[in-house]
Structures are given as structure tokens and as C-alpha cells.
């Protein structure tokens, strides 16, 4: 599976982003491009995240998408232009969007939440027209805190019904939504099958699933690359490689299903540790495990 689902030549077709196209080409050749969530590196929905990511050595960012009118709201074309420029300057791509706002204003129950998800589709479609090489294809839908739906069939059904109302719009725009939750692979598949679209997949999080007692290695094999849109490489309170997740084994599972797209670092910072230093160490670990040299 290639680094981007869109033709790679699109990336080369945008001359103003030659630097990004070149670095993206290198990442594609190596497989497993590596990024981080903007909220995990202390710059949630903040343009400064690109500089922090550059200092770490990351190739991409998962960028927050929130309510209308929030700071650095990507619904605003001027804000999108700022992101394009900063991405060009730093060589850090926009890997995907993340809707953590749904943890506080749940998709299952909040009356405006589905409209915000629909607006994410519109924004990503505009980005695809404005900067094809920078347009993310994946948007994470979060289901934690108030938005938790694990073990709640009524809420699961409500989410499926709401997503069905906009999923064709997502398909037309080439947008893929990734469910990140505390649910098992089986329950994720129940919602995906109920919606009935390849534009709804699983955003797999190593630490969340492991914490729930799921066998993450079997689950990855069960879901397959066609059901996993992106992966959070995560540990709770430890650097990657120093916690409970066996990342070399996890890589073997991803290799078996043919997934070699974005690995997004989340968490993985020991208590009291400096974020920049921790994320440099996390990046170096993933680079060594997933992209061994020679």
C-alpha cells in the first residue's frame, strides 16, 4: 500500500511545494511516514506546531479541527493559507485532521456535532483543490470522555445513523473518517458495516486498545489494511519501546496486512519529561523499528 491513496504524481505537480514533494517522496520510498498529533506536542490547533514538529524531525502533523470560529479554524481560507505556507517552510506535511472536540460534544448526542463533521468534509475538499499535495485524506473522529460509546449499543446505533447521512458526501470528496474509541475490533466493524462505506474505517490506537485488554496484534490482522486508515503509536506514561507495546511485533502485523502509511505519535511522554526530547526519542525509535536502514 502506498504512502498516499492519490496518485503520487499529484505531489510532484505542485511546483511551490517542491520541498515537501521531495521529502514526501523519501518518506514514501522508506514506508511508514512518521508524524505526531498537534495536541501531544503542546501546540493544539496552533500554527506553532509546525516548528515544533520540525525540531523533532517529524514528517507530518495531525491537525486539530474544532468548532467554528475557534483559533486557527481551517474553515477560514486565510488560516488554511497560513498552514500551507508554514508547511512549505518547515517541510512538515498535514498528515490528517483530528476532531477531539467530539470528546466534549459527542457525535451521538450533541445536535451540532454532525454538522461539524460535515464541515470537515467541505474543508478537506477545498484543501484538495487548493493544495493537492497538502490535502489530508483522513479525519479522526474521537469517542472518549463524554463521547464514549463503548458498551453502549444505543449510542453506537446513533453514531451509525448520523454518519450515514453524510458518508456519500465524504466518498465524493475522497475523505476517510477514522473511528478512534475504546471499542473492540468487532464493535468497530459493527458500526462500519452499518454505515456501509469504505470512507469509514478504524483509527487504530495501540495504547487505548491494549489498555482495554484487546490483543492488538490479532485485531490488526482481523481488521486488515482496508479497514485501518491511520495508526496512533502510543504508550501511556512511557517512551515508545519502553512500555507495554511490542512495536517490532506490531510492525510485523502491519507488514502482514500491507499497511505502511502514517504512524502518528500520541502520548508516549513519561511524567515530568521534556516533550521535545521525548518526541525526538520516540521518532528515533519508530524510525529504527519501522524503517531500518540497510
CATH code of the domain in which 251 resides? 3.20.20.150
Over residues 101-129, the mean pLDDT reads: 98
CA angle 61/101/275 to nearest 5° reads 40
pLDDT at 158: 98
Lowest average pLDDT, out of 1-5, 73-77, 190-194, 212-216, goes to: 1-5
1 belongs to a structural domain: no
pLDDT digits (tens, 9 = 90+) for 149-173: 999 999 999 999 999 999 999 999 9
Does residue 7 sit within a domain? no
What pLDDT score was predicted for residue 162? Answer: 98
Q: Which residues 6+ apart lie within 8 Å of 250 measured at CB?
A: 206, 216, 217, 220
> 8 lies in a domain?
no
Number of H-type helices and E-type strands within the chain: 12, 8
Mean pLDDT over each residue of the chain, to the nearest integer: 91
Percentage of the residues of the chain whose pLDDT score is greater than 90 = 87
Model confidence band, residue 6 (pLDDT cutoffs 50, 70, 90): very low
In a domain, 22, yes or no: no
Tell me, what DSSP letter sits at residue 10?
H
Least confident range from 2-11, 46-55, 77-86: namely: 2-11
Q: How far apart are CA 195 and CA 141, in angstroms?
A: 15
C-alpha cell at position 270:
513519561
pTM of the full structure? 0.90
Alpha-carbon 129 to chain mean position: 21
Give the integer Cα–Cα distance in Å for 228 and 201: 6
User: How far apart are alpha carbons 288 and 286 in whole angstroms?
Assistant: 5
Q: Report whether pLDDT(16) > 70.
A: no
Instruction: Examine residue 205 and state whether it is found in any structural domain, yes or no.
Output: yes
The values of phi and psi at residue 94, to 5°, are -90, 105
pLDDT at 30: 57
Residue 46 corresponds to which cell in the numbers above? 496552533
- Contacts of 83 by beta carbon, 8 Å cutoff, 6+ apart: 47, 50, 63, 72, 74, 94, 134
In percent, how much of the chain has pLDDT > 70? 89
Q: Inform me whether the pLDDT recorded for 137 exceeds 80.
A: yes
Domain contains 19: no
DSSP state of 66: -
In a domain, 196, yes or no: yes
Q: State the average pLDDT over residues 11-39.
A: 58
Of the listed ranges 6-10, 81-85, 221-225, the least confidently predicted one is 6-10
Assess if residue 24 is contained within a domain.
no
> Whole domain around residue 261: which residue ranges?
32-290
Domain count along the chain: 1
The H-assigned helical ranges of the chain are 9-12, 18-30, 49-56, 77-90, 113-130, 153-164, 167-173, 185-195, 206-211, 216-223, 247-257, 275-290
Q: Return the pLDDT at 293.
A: 87
Write down the pLDDT at residue 37.
98
Amino acid at each position: 500500500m502506498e504512502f498516499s491513496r492519490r496518485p503520487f504524481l499529484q505531489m510532484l505537480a505542485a511546483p511551490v511545494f517542491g520541498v515537501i514533494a521531495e521529502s514526501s517522496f523519501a518518506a514514501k520510498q522508506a514506508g511508514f511516514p512518521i508524524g505526531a498529533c498537534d495536541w501531544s506536542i503542546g501546540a493544539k490547533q496552533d500554527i506553532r506546531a509546525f516548528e515544533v514538529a520540525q525540531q523533532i524531525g517529524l514528517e507530518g502533523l495531525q491537525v486539530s479541527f474544532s468548532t467554528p470560529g475557534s483559533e486557527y479554524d481551517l474553515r477560514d481560507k486565510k488560516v488554511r493559507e497560513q498552514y500551507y505556507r508554514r508547511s512549505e517552510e518547515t517541510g512538515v506535511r498535514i498528515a490528517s485532521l483530528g476532531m477531539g472536540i467530539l470528546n466534549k460534544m459527542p457525535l451521538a448526542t450533541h445536535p451540532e456535532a454532525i454538522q461539524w463533521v460535515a464541515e470537515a468534509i467541505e474543508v478537506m475538499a477545498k484543501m484538495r483543490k487548493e493544495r493537492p499535495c497538502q490535502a489530508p485524506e483522513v479525519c479522526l473522529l474521537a469517542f472518549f470522555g463524554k463521547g464514549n460509546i463503548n458498551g453502549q449499543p444505543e449510542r453506537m446505533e446513533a453514531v451509525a445513523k448520523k454518519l450515514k447521512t453524510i458518508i456519500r458526501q465524504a466518498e465524493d470528496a475522497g475523505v476517510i473518517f477514522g473511528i478512534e474509541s475504546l471499542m473492540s475490533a468487532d464493535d468497530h466493524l459493527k458500526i462500519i458495516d452499518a454505515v456501509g462505506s469504505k470512507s469509514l474505517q478504524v483509527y487504530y490506537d495501540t495504547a487505548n486498545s491494549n489498555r482495554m485488554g484487546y490483543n492488538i496484534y490479532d485485531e490488526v490482522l482481523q481488521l486488515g489494511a482496508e479497514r485501518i486508515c491511520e495508526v496512533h503509536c502510543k504508550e501511556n506514561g512511557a517512551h515508545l519501546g519502553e512500555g507495554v507495546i511490542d512495536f517490532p511485533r506490531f510492525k510485523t502485523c502491519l507488514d502482514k496486512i500491507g499497511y505502511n502509511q502514517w504512524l502518528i505519535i500520541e502520548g508516549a511522554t513519561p511524567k515530568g519529561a521534556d516533550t521535545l526530547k521525548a518526541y525526538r526519542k520516540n521518532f528515533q525509535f519508530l524510525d529504527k523499528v519501522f524503517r531500518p536502514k540497510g
